[in-house]
Amino acid sequence: MARRIYIFDTTLRDGEQVPGAKLNKRQKLEIAEQLARLGVDVIEAGFPCSSPEDLQAVKAIAEQVKGPVIAGLARAVQQDIDLAWEAVKPAERPRIHVFLGSSDIHLQKKLRRDRETALQQAVDSVKYAKRYCQDVEYSTEDASRTDFDYLCRVVEAVIKAGATVVNIPDTVGYAIPDEFGEMIKKLRERVPALDRVTLSVHCHNDLGLAVANTLAAIRNGADQVECTINGIGERAGNAALEEIVMALKVRQASFDAYTNINTKEIYRTSRMVSRIMNIPVQPNKAIVGSNAFAHSSGIHQDGILKDRSTYEIIRPEDVGIKDHKLVLTARSGRAALRHQLQQLGFSLGEEKFERVYQRFLNVADRKKEVSSEDLVTIVEIELTKVPETYTFHSLQIMSGNTITPMASVTLIKGEEKITESALGNGPVDAVFKSIEKIVRKTAKLRDYDLKAVTTGTDALGEAMVRVEIDGMIYSGIGTSPDVIEASARAYVNAFNRYFAAKKGINGVLSLD
Ligand SMILES: CC(=O)SCCNC(=O)CCNC(=O)[C@H](O)C(C)(C)COP(=O)(O)OP(=O)(O)OC[C@H]1O[C@@H](n2cnc3c(N)ncnc32)[C@H](O)[C@@H]1OP(=O)(O)O
Ligand SMILES: CC(C)C(=O)C(=O)O
């Protein structure tokens, strides 16, 4: 029968040890409420002895957050344990979590005591915590670098003293999966009393192996795993909750284990933690990164559109993400472009689609990502013919680094030639202002893109503009060997679209 794995979330304690991630009481409460919705089994809410505010934050969580066990961390000293108890006492199910280093490195260099003294301190602290609280977790800090026989003795002794959970941390992320899994297995064999308590692991990510080590431990008998949202935590972080949970879900048959996490809350929780702690999630982060369900290359997009199982092992909706994203780039193909155009309501015949595709490639080579707005512009420019209310005739500019640029532009309207001049922040700005004077309308420039369509110093320049007029967006394109003239032509082209729309001539966009 599949085993239940208990999720101990330490985002609010180890996660909060990230420099700059300090949370106040209100923020901790908000995250704790969300962790409860996510369905974690234990919330380690803080380290109450560390500051009066943290004590109050842990207390508030203990009072208000229902469902999970609420744990507070304490060193193996009475004062810490007293404060931890004061903080977690109001919880429905409180837990005191006591820890002490067990490796010779920690004992000799940091704690400066011998193994026997530390063993006695471990036992005494568990007994002391037990006077307050039935549920006491004991962590053998730096377990993965601890002499194994000594580790077994400590584990045995703290269970005898009353520990209900024994946690084996890979404090400095030193372990590797086979070795760590083997250690958990051997520990169970050597300390049968572990069968009466919860065996937990807590892995750090210094070698990028925190999740792999955690999964190896699960395979070898760990019941509880300690982890954080987005894998945040001291140094390189902790094992990422979302990765462990989804690995167990996606590869259920391999692990024969499950968690009670409501996976649909994963993405919301990740966003909340990232926002409140002000720690961005790297785009390629598994499960919750912005690219985790984004497909940008043509072959993958084609596969996804035919059947999403070709390139997706997780359904985005299972982790609370609305849908996968098809990102249009220069590496995209026709299948993805056609799909995106259809999503935007364009269903083009073959010849027109091919024209749009060629211009799309052209734009994609200049931009990292082609947005929906870009696509609409491309379709408009390729397929819409508008009557020319104004026709570009000529322009002159005066510009230089010691004068305010000035332009004079002439447009033709019917039989009439109209010339206007304006100053601007640059020559292009001066030209745009002159055009606005002629057409007696102002526009907000939303996007402006210029490129050479041929090579050499006499290259043909192509300007694309997107402008806002009366709250609507209009695109324009212009070409000329002179980039300022190309810009002027693009601006006039956008205005002509506006005037056409005003006359109700939108319908010239022909799609088939
Ligand atoms: C692996 C982990 O992530 S453990 C958790 C790490 N998190 C934190 O440290 C955040 C909260 N910490 C704090 O606010 C402070 O460090 C406090 C309040 C705990 C202690 O502050 P201070 O009393 O000023 O001590 P300081 O931080 O300088 O040094 C730590 C002391 O605790 C001792 N200590 C460390 N771990 C333990 C332990 N598990 N049990 C008992 N004593 C311990 C150290 O030996 C040292 O004492 P010493 O100076 O007598 O040798
Ligand atoms: C307190 C313990 C569990 C810890 O954070 C560690 O060893 O990394």
> Could you read off the pLDDT of 323-342 as tens digits, one per residue?
999 999 999 999 999 999 99
Radius of gyration (C-alpha) of the chain in whole angstroms: 32
Is the pLDDT at 440 greater than 80, yes or no? yes
Q: How many angstroms does the Cα of residue 255 sit away from the middle of ligand 2?
A: 25
Is the pLDDT at 55 greater than 90, yes or no? yes
Q: Residue of the nearest CA to atom 6 in ligand 2?
A: 171
Same domain membership, residue 157 and residue 131: yes
pLDDT, average across residues 452-471: 81
Q: Are 95 and 67 in contact (CB under 8 A)?
A: no
Distance in angstroms (rounded) separating the CA atoms of residues 110 and 121: 15
Q: Residue of the nearest CA to atom 1 in ligand 1?
A: 171
Using the atom order of ligand 2, give the atom closest to the CA of residue 13.
5
Residue 361: the pLDDT is 92
Q: Residue of the nearest CA to atom 44 in ligand 1?
A: 111
* Residue after which a domain boundary falls, among 323, 356, 379: 379
Between 439 and 369, the more confident residue is 439
Using the atom order of ligand 2, give the atom closest to the CA of residue 172.
8
Q: Are 136 and 93 in contact (CB under 8 A)?
A: no
Q: How many angstroms does the Cα of residue 24 sit away from the middle of ligand 1?
A: 21
Closest ligand (CA of 47): 1
Q: How many angstroms does the Cα of residue 191 sit away from the middle of ligand 1?
A: 29
Residue 231: the pLDDT is 98
Residue 502, domain member (yes or no): yes
Residue 167: the pLDDT is 98
Same domain membership, residue 396 and residue 375: no
Same domain membership, residue 21 and residue 93: yes
Count Cβ atoms within 10 A of the Cβ of residue 490 and give its class: 0-12 exposed, 13-18 middle, 19 or more buried. buried
Same domain membership, residue 399 and residue 354: no
The rounded percent of the chain whose pLDDT value lies above 90 is: 86
Same domain membership, residue 48 and residue 116: yes
Q: Residue of the nearest CA to atom 8 in ligand 2?
A: 171
Using the atom order of ligand 2, give the atom closest to the CA of residue 142.
7
Q: DSSP strand E in 351-471: where? A: 391-398, 406-413, 416-423, 444-452, 461-469
Q: Are 93 and 66 in contact (CB under 8 A)?
A: no
Residue 381: the pLDDT is 75
Which amino acid, 185? Answer: K
Kindly list the distances between the CA atom of residue 214 and the CA atoms of 148, 176, 181, 217, 238, in Å, as whole numbers in the listed order: 19, 10, 8, 5, 10
For residue 182, name the pLDDT band (cuts at 50, 70, 90). Answer: very high
Distance in angstroms (rounded) separating the CA atoms of residues 240 and 228: 5
Same domain membership, residue 105 and residue 59: yes
Same domain membership, residue 114 and residue 30: yes
Residue 385, domain member (yes or no): no
Count Cβ atoms within 10 A of the Cβ of residue 322 and give its class: 0-12 exposed, 13-18 middle, 19 or more buried. exposed
Same domain membership, residue 373 and residue 399: no
Residue 462: the pLDDT is 83
Residue 24, domain member (yes or no): yes
Q: How many angstroms does the Cα of residue 141 sit away from the middle of ligand 2?
A: 6
Q: How many angstroms does the Cα of residue 169 sit away from the middle of ligand 2?
A: 6
The rounded percent of the chain whose pLDDT value lies above 70 is: 97
ipTM: 0.98
Residue 368: the pLDDT is 82
CB-defined site of ligand 1, < 6 Å: 14, 17, 47, 49-50, 75-77, 99-100, 110-111, 141, 171, 234
Residue with tokens 């209009």: 474
Encode burial over 414-429: b for 16+ CB neighbours within 10 A, e otherwise: eeeeeebebebeebbb
Residue 362: the pLDDT is 81
Using the atom order of ligand 2, give the atom closest to the CA of residue 141.
7
* Residue after which a domain boundary falls, among 277, 310, 331: 277
Using the atom order of ligand 1, give the atom closest to the CA of residue 234.
3
Ligand 1: which of 13, 111, 206 to mutate, judged by most atoms within 8 Å of the beta carbon?
111
Residue 386, domain member (yes or no): no
310 is in which domain, residue-wise? Answer: 294-379
pLDDT, average across residues 500-512: 60
The per-residue pLDDT for range 226-248, each reduced to its tens digit, is: 999 999 999 999 999 999 999 99
Is the pLDDT at 505 greater than 70, yes or no? no
* Residue after which a domain boundary falls, among 225, 249, 277: 277
For residue 387, name the pLDDT band (cuts at 50, 70, 90). Answer: confident
Query: What integer best gives the mean pLDDT of the chain?
Result: 94
Q: How many angstroms does the Cα of residue 66 sit away from the middle of ligand 1?
A: 30
The per-residue pLDDT for range 276-300, each reduced to its tens digit, is: 999 999 999 999 999 999 999 999 9
224-227/198-203 β-pairing: parallel
pLDDT, average across residues 108-114: 98
Same domain membership, residue 171 and residue 95: yes
Is the pLDDT at 34 greater than 50, yes or no? yes
CB-defined site of ligand 2, < 6 Å: 14, 99, 139, 141, 167, 169, 171, 202, 204
Residue 288, domain member (yes or no): no
Residue 287, domain member (yes or no): no
Residue 394's nearest CA partner among 281, 277, 254, 489 is 489
pLDDT, average across residues 143-166: 98
Number of domains composing the chain: 3
Q: Which helix (H) or strand (E) holds 200?
A: strand 198-203
Residue 246's nearest CA partner among 3, 7, 67, 1 is 7
The per-residue pLDDT for range 328-384, each reduced to its tens digit, is: 999 999 999 999 999 998 989 999 999 999 989 988 887 788 988 888 878 877 777
Same domain membership, residue 399 and residue 351: no
Distance in angstroms (rounded) separating the CA atoms of residues 221 and 201: 10
Q: Which helix (H) or strand (E) holds 335?
A: helix 334-343
Residue 481: count other Cβ atoms within 10 Å of its Cβ: 14
Residue 262, domain member (yes or no): yes
Q: How many angstroms does the Cα of residue 472 sit away from the middle of ligand 1?
A: 61
Residue 506: the pLDDT is 53
Is the pLDDT at 172 greater than 80, yes or no? yes
Please check if 238 is assigned to a binding site: yes
Residue 122's nearest CA partner among 104, 98, 146 is 98
Q: How many angstroms does the Cα of residue 246 sit away from the middle of ligand 1?
A: 34
Distance in angstroms (rounded) separating the CA atoms of residues 85 and 288: 35
The per-residue pLDDT for range 462-498, each reduced to its tens digit, is: 898 999 999 999 989 888 888 999 999 999 999 999 9
Same domain membership, residue 202 and residue 104: yes
Is the pLDDT at 97 greater than 60, yes or no? yes
Please check if 149 is assigned to a binding site: no
Is the pLDDT at 509 greater than 50, yes or no? no
Closest ligand (CA of 168): 2
Q: Are 269 and 38 in contact (CB under 8 A)?
A: yes
Q: Residue of the nearest CA to atom 2 in ligand 2?
A: 141
Is the pLDDT at 507 greater than 60, yes or no? no
Distance in angstroms (rounded) separating the CA atoms of residues 360 and 374: 9
Tokens of residue 349, six digits: 């015949």
Q: How many angstroms does the Cα of residue 200 sit away from the middle of ligand 2?
A: 11
CATH (domain of 347): 1.10.238
Residue 212, domain member (yes or no): yes
Using the atom order of ligand 2, give the atom closest to the CA of residue 97.
1
Same domain membership, residue 246 and residue 309: no
Q: Residue of the nearest CA to atom 22 in ligand 1?
A: 50
Residue 511: the pLDDT is 38
| Greatest alpha-carbon span in the chain | 103
CATH (domain of 213): 3.20.20.70
Residue 491's nearest CA partner among 415, 417, 407, 416 is 407
